[in-house]
Homo-oligomer: A and B are copies of this chain.
């Protein structure tokens, strides 16, 4: 941020009085502009013993497989966002089950939240951000070609919990890549 989105004056970057972190500050209109983490919302859509993955058509990680997920929008709930992203990326309709993973990715200022979900029908197809959409059994998951560690982490928990017949919430912190 170089300029104040409110009044267009050049902003400073310093710790406001009474605060502990540097912020973008406009001394012309006296506004502090905060930057906060983004929430990514998504789903693990299941159909019998298979889960739905999308091959990404867009960067980052184009050509890699992902669970349907994307940035949560203003005006929606976490669950509405997970359903919207599944519809946008896979043209798939789901019924939400329990919230399944809440993964902090502090080094990129994100929190990723995935619901378990049931596909309502097999009428799915690639949305504009996907190249392919496909159901995978556990032994078919393209583990080496997954897009993000939040996706692989969520899928690992999913299959482990399914084996144990005990789904529960997982709240992991994803550390920076080595």
Contact = CB atoms under 8 A, between A and B. Distances in A.
Interface of A: 1-8, 11, 18, 21, 24, 33-39, 71-80, 98-99, 102, 104, 106-107, 109, 111, 113, 128, 169, 171, 173
A78 B111 CA distance: 8
A74 B37 contact: yes
DSSP majority for the A interface? loop
Nearest to A37: B72
Contact of A39 (B2, B36, B171): B36
Contacts of A37: 39, 72-74, 76
Given A37-B72, A77-B106, 5 more contacts: A5-B5, A76-B104, A79-B171, A79-B173, A102-B102
B6 A4 contact: no
State the 8 A-B residue pairs at the shortest beta-carbon distance, nearest first.
A77-B104, A3-B8, A74-B109, A1-B5, A5-B5, A77-B173, A8-B8, A99-B171
Contact of A102 (B7, B73, B80, B113): B113
Given A36-B38, A102-B99, A171 B78 contact: yes
Q: Of A4, A24, A71, A74, which is in contact with the most chain B CB atoms at under 10 Å from its CB? A: A74
